[in-house]
Structures are given as structure tokens and as C-alpha cells.
Amino acid sequence: MYCVSFSQFPEIIQMKKVLVTGGAGFVGSFLCDRLIDEGHEVIAIDNFFTGNKANLRQLQNNPNFELMRHDIVEPVLLEVDWIFNLACPASPVHYQYNPIKTAKTNVIGTLNMLGLALRVNARILQASTSEVYGNPQVHPQPEGYFGHVNPIGLRSCYDEGKRVAETLTMDYHRQNQVDAKIVRIFNTYGPRMRIDDGRAVPNFMFQALKGDDITVYGDGSQTRSLCYVDDTVEAIYRLASYSNLSSANRNGFENIPDPIVVNIGNPVEMTVLDIAKSIKDISDSKGMFNCNIQTFNILKNFYQINAAVDLTQFTGSDNIGKYLLSEFKNILIPNITFDIEILPINIYLNIDEKSFGNILDNPLVTPKLIKSLEKQMEVIFVDLESKADFVLEIEIDTKQRGESYSLYTSVAEMSVYLKN
């Protein structure tokens, strides 16, 4: 990340009329506070999907502040000097709830804000994210790194949406000379985070304050760089307050593109386990650390455990559980227990006898067949296909062959399929 010294650029102290989209959200509400403190006139708009009016309660009687319920997917006509486009849910729990709407907010919403900036000659700061780097192969990620991305994954509605938003911002600057800046915000924490955010810090804090065990997924060795919300807002405000760098005043920042694209975050990374320990110490929680190896369904997700494991060597869930415990016993971390649960496989039995009576599909034979299969396969047969993980189809084509000594002789051709 670039450490830009803003002191070398002249401050703009004139009061501005400022639009903050996503103004009732976590970062947006703190930005509104800062702008009001600096003497600016602020209009906050939010659709309140994840934003909360309570985050702006302290500003409701301020004559320089106005709050509007509006979704930026729809155009808005306002006269402003600055635009901070922060509108979009940032937690996977929330942006995956309606991925199409998330993509529309990032693309159509950003397009509307850029169009507004062009019409009223406003400066726009586009809030992007570290997620534009995808699953990076370079650590830490400089602004010039193009990333290692997946355009069709579950998180792509957010990641790729933000990448398109950056593309639109750059093209509005190049084609229409819109005064634009882009900030890529890394992990930010602080007050006003939602308890149901789903990310590590609020999860740990909520569990610690309740006195529950703190759940760390995996072994806790994965790392995060955390930046306090006041520092994030300080960087956003300072970046918006200065004109784009001129060629004569770059002073060591020649690699920063114009318009400015800057990472905002903490260059120091911590392991998730260290973060959990810090929160436990601060909160004086009596809970323990519970390293939760997430619940596995072996047949469906065996690749999550060990892609090299030949599951045919196991004859039952007890043996699989013992194998997993033996694999994890070498991970020696104090006060961490492994919670491993093997889920049963639900199977729906579909018997299709094409001719000559119901040999298997009858109330006397079918229950005995199911009981025998459940015992041998260690699975559970369910009564509805919608409840099943797999469908076991047995097709029987029974043909009468003739009559001999007053007895019928027949032959059955059977096919068995296991379908996902």
C-alpha cells in the first residue's frame, strides 16, 4: 500500500455540499460525522438494507445534515460538490442474499453517481474494496496488481461488481474528464458494525461478550489486516480533500495512477487466532477457543477434507471420524478442541418395475430392502426426493419366459443407478 503524505498538498477548506451514498451504513455514518465536523453540508442517502437510521441519530437535528431514503439503482437529481459512493453491502452474508441486486448496485448505481458527477461537475470518490484482487497470489497487494479473480463464483456479484465500478470510474475520467478517485478499502472494524455481519471481528466480539466459546474456523493461521474505522474515514476524507496529483508535484508517487487509486488499510497482518485472543483478553471472556473444523458431508464434500483420501477404505462413519481425528491430532494449539461431525447421507429409493408385477415395490419387500441397505451402506432412506442427497434408482425389467409343469418361469434384468 502507498503511504501518501497528504501534507504536501494544499488543503481545501471551503465548505462543500456533499452527497454520501450508503450514508447510514457502518463506514458511511462515520464519514458523515467527519464531514459535518469539518463544516460541510451533507446529504446522506440509503435504502436501509444494511444501513441503520440509529447510526445517524447524533446528526438528526443538525441543520447541515439531511437523510434521504433512496436506492442508487434509481437516478437522483441533486446539486452537490462532492460525491462519496459507498452504497453496497460489504459482508458476504448480506451481498449474497440477493446477488443480482448487489451487482446492479455496483454497476447501475455507480453509473448513476458518475452521471450525476458529470452533470453537476462534482468530484466523486468511488469506494472499492480489497476484494477486487480476488484470491491474491501477491502479498501485500500493491495498487498495480491486477489480482487473481473468479468471475463466476458465489462472491463474484460483489468482487466483479466493484471491478466494473472501477472500470466505469476510470472511463468517465478519461472520456469525460470527471474528477474521480478510487479507494480500495481493506478490512475495517469499529463501532456500528452489525452483529449479524458474519465476519471475524463482530463474530468474536459477540461470542466473547456473551461469555461463549470463541469459534475459530480452521486452525486460525489465516491472516487479516484490520484498520480501525476512524483511520479508514480519515484516509477517505484526506484523499477527497486534495486535487489530483499534477505531474510537477508527484514527489516519489510516480506509480500512483491518475485519477488516484489507493489502498486503504493496515499493512500489518495478524492471524485470526491472534485477533480472537486479543478480543478475549480485552473482553475478559471466560469462554475457550473452539477450533471448529466445519461440519462435513463426506460423500458430497470429501475434497474439503483430503482430496487424496480413498473413501472406499472406510466402512462406516465411526472409522471416518477416527481417521479425521488422527489427521488433526498433530495440530497442537492450546485451548483448542476439534468439533467433527459426520452427517448421514439421505437417500431416496425409487423402484421402477417395467412389467410383470411388483417384485420389490410392495409393502412386504420394500421395507426389508431399505432396512438391509441402511445397515450395509450406513445411510438413511427418506420418504421424499426433495429431502435426499442422492436418489437410488432400481430399474427392473421382468419378462415372462413361458409355462412349464403349470409354473411360470421368468427372468429379471436389473439396473441400479445412484444419482446426485
Q: Nearest 5 degrees, angle CA 240-CA 243-CA 246?
A: 140
Kind plus residue range of the DSSP H or E element containing 264: strand 261-264
Q: Which three cell numbers stand for residue 63?
A: 441543520
Q: Which residues, 6 or more positions from 372, have their beta carbon under 8 angstroms from its beta carbon?
A: none
Largest CA distance in the chain: 110
Q: Using the Cα atoms of residue 27, residue 33, residue 36 and residue 37 in order, give the sign of their dihedral.
A: negative
Q: Are 141 and 195 in contact (CB under 8 A)?
A: no
Kind plus residue range of the DSSP H or E element containing 159: helix 156-176
Question: Quick check: is 158 catalytic?
Answer: yes
Catalytic residue among 133, 158, 172, 189: 158
3-class DSSP assignment, residue 292: strand
In eight-state DSSP terms, residue 246 is P
The Cβ-side half-sphere exposure at 44, using a 13 Å CA radius, reads 33
The Cβ-side half-sphere exposure at 396, using a 13 Å CA radius, reads 17
The Cβ-side half-sphere exposure at 22, using a 13 Å CA radius, reads 25
Report the C-alpha gap between 108 and 76 in whole angstroms.
12
Q: What are phi and psi of 210, to 5 degrees?
A: -80, -10
Cis geometry, peptide bond prior to residue 10 (ω within 30 degrees of 0): no
Report the C-alpha gap between 249 and 377 in whole angstroms.
73
Kind plus residue range of the DSSP H or E element containing 109: none
Cis geometry, peptide bond prior to residue 259 (ω within 30 degrees of 0): yes
3-class DSSP assignment, residue 293: coil
Q: Are 226 and 276 in contact (CB under 8 A)?
A: no
Q: Which three cell numbers stand for residue 44?
A: 446522506
Sheet strands (E) in 300-345: 336-338
Catalytic residues: 158
